[in-house]
Chain A
């Protein structure tokens, strides 16, 4: 018996010590200001969502949550900075679907290992896309569009915010699912693409519900379908792709929080729980919905699964089409 105790004692002591070490760690965290690195320019959708959640966490933690923008190279520069930051929970990374699930396939040589350098914390929100047509474009529904595009292969043009971005890949998914061939006209950012769509220089555009809903409601653009599983509260009259008869083309972006890989699990769990509370808070929810987003937190595991699912899906498109980044 005594020998048994002696056998287990160190293990027990170790685990007690272990919990002693991690418990206070999570309890005192955050003991100083936390930085959210946003790897894009200020004012974009990702930046605004990050700031909304950061403001809530600042209230909750009584510590400032600072949003730092490190834009450049499709988010790679900012992601790399966090991947190489001290894994102490004080430097975290805001990502969208592009960084975790598109860049690893699109850029064969990332400066960090996308599988090992970062670890998921929680989803923040989903950003569904909407397929829009120029007012001068003849087809008025997805069904008419598919018929028209099949009769005129390569004649229908679609704009995108850039080569290899999630709106572009969504359009590729759409072509694959409908068996159509459209011509891609890449722009630099969603704004110029939207302007040219409105003027009828191009026929179609996939963009976030946030960017598109105002124009659709004002009758300046035709909303054909949303790419989410459910209709958007901002555009209740626009059907989903599935309702419009297109299966397996659901798409969209999402925004999430990651940490450097070696960040203690206790901190990851604490931040995940607090982000969940923040996203569920009525004022944050309201702000995110006003931005056309669907507020949605997750556990680290769920986020990991989402990252992998989307990486698989977009990766297949990128390889099949031989796409390269812009």
Chain B
């Protein structure tokens, strides 16, 4: 039981008063930062990184890890309350979280997200501790062909992301994929649809798009309603603020599935919490007995992605700690911090700096406990925000959207982008197109394109590479089935209709 001794040492380090204080501060600051749309975990960690340079490396990384957990949850708060994703991994939470808020169930939505995050985060740390080396090997087996197959599978789930008409789902997706084409061609380097504007060279950043589509789009649609009094009908009592036993019964398995899926996806290079949250939402809808309730305030639709994104965030530390390679944008910045402290990340980190690694792992447990307490204690306060009359809340949301889009890169261009997509979001909402499908395509599109073309370079343009490698082959078959089955069904109904017509 070597690792128990190590873990004990880790807790010994993490539970010193100063480090505990750092964990509390990290969670609190993280929640605040995460609640501001646009400022997600990467920029939050980046903002605090310089502050930690004066500290002991272990205290510093404890604070950053706690903050990471805090921002992940903070993003959920705005998704649920005002339909504005605070960070990218909370986009999909808007779908059912905001609907729950409109039904006066913002409390249970935030509560189940906190509980799901806690469970997923804790299980994630246990997995991180026990099976890191094994997982590192699994992540290495994911080369470009496997990544492409996974992204393709992700794209096929697009019709599950709201909207009653699958065709409209596909149209939204294609629009998203077209937006994903903007920017430099990764192989030839030709500028695509850039109109010579430098800001367009990196392509369309999806966070301003998501903030516009969801947050601003919602405000514009809401402004039409005449009696825009309080957004939420009915009273809010404290006892209704926490999830009920029935909610828990519904969410239990969603949390479990979200955790496992989130962790598996989070370990993979390039995928990360955002992809994990989308995939787990669609899986949940697929296995649900009442898929029609999704998008209309299904608590599983909040529980699953919120668990998945936390599990994925923890899993992203696997490649960082075992291979010394960042698994996500946030861990890339944390890795920069490690170097700043003179710790050389890499396979030797566990052997050379055990107090650091185990202190970090122990602090993850502590951060998760803190997060659960802090969030449940603050939920009644957050929920009260919904009592603000809509005429006052609305300008505040717009302010939130604008500052959020700006603070992403200190760029007015992103604000403009957010405004344009606010208008687009309004029309999509009116016409029944799914903004989530667009955002998913915009997230997955560049990843899919890159891995497709890398695979084809490696295979010298043979598509066999996708089917001769086992993991890739399985994923490809699943993806193709996901496309073929609805097509066949559609064809059959079309056929029977023409037959009955003749």
Contacts and interface: CB of A to CB of B under 8 A. Distances in A.
Chain A facing B: main interface SS: mixed
A107 B336 CA distance: 29
B49 A324 contact: no
B340 A287 contact: yes
Contacts of A201: 143-144, 458
A73 interface: yes
- The bracket for how many chain B residues form the interface is 35 or more
Given A43-B335, A185-B454, A198-B323, A217 B346 contact: yes
Interface stretch (A74-82, A248-256, A266-274, A305-313): A74-82
A67 interface: yes
A199 B339 contact: no
Given A73-B201, A183-B457, A218 B53 contact: no
B293 interface: no
Contacts of B342: 286-287, 290
Interface string B325-343: 1100000111111011010
A25 interface: no
Contacts of B319: 195
Interface in A194-218: 194-196, 198-199, 201-202, 210, 213-215, 217-218
Contact of B46 (A41, A72, A215, A218): A41
Interface in A37-80: 41-44, 47-48, 51-52, 55, 67-74, 76-77, 80
Contacts of A175: none
B46 A325 contact: no
A164 interface: yes
Query: A77, A191, A192 — which one has the most chain B CB atoms within 10 A of its CB?
Result: A191
A299 B324 CA distance: 36
Contacts of B324: 214-215
Interface in B165-206: 184-191, 196, 198-199, 201-202
Contacts of B199: 72-73, 77
A42 B336 contact: yes
Interface residues of A, number: 57
B347 A220 contact: yes
B180 to A, nearest CB: 13
Contacts of A291: 339
A163 B409 contact: no
A179 interface: no
A121 B334 CA distance: 30
Contact of B410 (A70, A80, A163): A70
B450 A218 contact: no
Nearest to A323: B189
A69 B411 CA distance: 11
Interface in A55-114: 55, 67-74, 76-77, 80, 109, 111
Nearest to B344: A214
A157 interface: yes
Contact of A195 (B186, B269, B409, B454): B269
B202 to A, nearest CB: 6
Contacts of B139: 195
A104 to B, nearest CB: 14
Nearest to B47: A42
A48 B46 contact: no
B399 interface: no
Contacts of A186: 186-187, 454
B336 A218 contact: no
Contact of A76 (B143, B198, B409): B198
B486 interface: no
Contacts of B142: 199
B50 interface: yes
A302 interface: no
Given A199-B140, A218-B347, A326-B186, A70 B409 contact: yes
B339 A210 contact: yes
Contacts of B202: 72-73
B340 A51 contact: yes
Contacts of B133: none
A76 B201 contact: yes
Contact of A192 (B270, B334, B345, B348): B270
B493 interface: no
Given A43-B336, A202-B458, A163 B347 contact: no
A111 B344 CA distance: 38
A194 B269 CA distance: 10
B141 to A, nearest CB: 7
- 10 residue pairs, one from A and one from B, having the closest CB atoms: A214-B346, A43-B336, A324-B189, A43-B333, A42-B46, A201-B143, A199-B140, A218-B347, A73-B201, A290-B342
Interface of B: 42, 46, 49-50, 53, 139-144, 184-191, 196, 198-199, 201-202, 269-270, 319, 323-326, 332-337, 339-340, 342, 344-348, 409-411, 450, 454, 457-458
Interface of A: 41-44, 47-48, 51-52, 55, 67-74, 76-77, 80, 109, 111, 157, 162-164, 183-189, 191-192, 194-196, 198-199, 201-202, 210, 213-215, 217-218, 220, 286-287, 290-291, 323-326
Given A48-B336, A218-B347, A323-B189, 9 more contacts: A41-B46, A42-B333, A68-B410, A162-B186, A163-B187, A195-B319, A195-B325, A198-B325, A326-B189
